[in-house]
Amino acid sequence: GQNIDQPTEMTATEGAIVQINCTYQTSGFNGLFWYQQHAGEAPTFLSYNVLDGLEEKGRFSSFLSRSKGYSYLLLKELQMKDSASYLCAVMDSNYQLIWGAGTKLIIKP
C-alpha cells in the first residue's frame, strides 16, 4: 500500500529552527508537496520538489531524496504565526496525491 509518515506533533521556540520530516512509500513518484494549514483554515501551498536536493524559499526550505523516500521541511527564524499543521503529500504514478496526516507545529515564546 501507499504510505506517508510524518510526526504527529512538534514543539519549537520562537526564533529557532525546526525540521519536519516526511517519509513515503508510493506507487511511483511525480513530486512531493508541502502545505501549511492553520487551524480551521484551508491548506496553502508551500513547496514542490521533484528532483533531489534543497529548494529554498525565504525562511522555508524543502529537501528531497528520492532514493531514500524522504523529505524534510526546514523552517528558520520561527515566528508565532508559523504555528500550524504542515502536510506532506506525494504525487504517485497516476498523478494522484497521497497525503500524510500532517505535523502540528507548536511555537513557544
Report in angstroms how near the CB of residue 82 gets to other proteins at its nearest.
19
- For other proteins, the closer CB: 30 or 83: 30
Phi, psi of 82 (to 5 degrees): -80, -5
Q: Of 78 and 90, which has the nearer Cβ to other proteins? A: 90
Selected binder of other proteins within 12, 43, 62, 78 (CB under 8 A): 43
Could you say whether residue 78 binds other proteins (CB under 8 A)? no
The stretch among 10-18, 52-60, 64-72, 84-92 that binds other proteins (CB under 8 A) is 84-92
Burial category of 45 from C-beta neighbours within 10 Å (exposed 0-12, middle 13-18, buried 19 and up): exposed
Q: What SS3 state is found at 25?
A: strand
Report CA-CA distances (Å) from 75 to 13, 18, 104. 11, 5, 13
